[in-house]
Amino acid sequence: MIVIKHMRHGFSVVGCPASVQSTPSSKKQYRTLVADTARSIVSEPVAVSKRITIEIDWFTLGFENKPDVDNIIKPIQDALKGIVFVDDSQVQSVTARKHDLLTITSFVGEPLYIIDPIIQGCKEYVYVRIYQ
C-alpha cells in the first residue's frame, strides 16, 4: 500500500523551543506561543478519523547548551492538540531534526516559508509541518 501525504500546514515559531526538562513556566509560555501561531493559520482541527504526521525542524546557531532534539517534541505536540488535531491518537509519526544555521547550504525541496525567519534575521526558530 502506498500512502501519499499532503502538507496541510506549515509554520515557524521564533525562539528556542522548550524542552520536557524546561521549567513549567517556560514550557507553558512556549506552548502558548506554538498554539497561538498554529491558531493563526489553522481554521479547524483535522477530523478525529484522520491520521497526521508531524515534522519539526529546529534551526539554531550551534548546538552548545541547547536541549536534545527528542525533548522538544512533546511541548510542541501538546500545544497543537485541539488546534491542529483533536486527539494524540491521530498522530501517526513525529520526526524532529536539529540544524545548525552556520552549516546549512541548501533548502532544496522545502517550502519557501521555511526561510522567512532567516530573512528576518532570526537566530533560532522551529518550523513545524503537519501532513495528512
Cell output for 92: 501517526
17-58 pLDDT, tens per residue? Answer: 999 989 999 999 999 999 999 999 999 999 999 999 999 999
pLDDT of residue 17: 95
Nearest alpha-carbon partner for 124 in 30, 13, 18:
13
pLDDT of residue 5: 67
Q: How far apart are CA 127 and CA 58, in angstroms?
A: 6
Angle formed by the axes of helices 73-80 and 24-39, to 10°?
50
Superfamily of domain 7-131: Holliday junction resolvase RusA (3.30.1330.70)
Cα separation of the two ends of the chain: 16
Half-sphere exposure of 9 (CA within 13 A, CB side): 22
pLDDT of residue 62: 82
70-115 pLDDT, tens per residue? Answer: 999 999 999 999 999 999 999 999 999 999 998 876 788 888 888 8
Indicate the pTM of the whole model: 0.90
Query: Is residue 19 classed exposed, middle or buried when 0-12, 13-18 and 19+ CB atoms within 10 A define those classes?
Result: buried
pLDDT of residue 122: 93
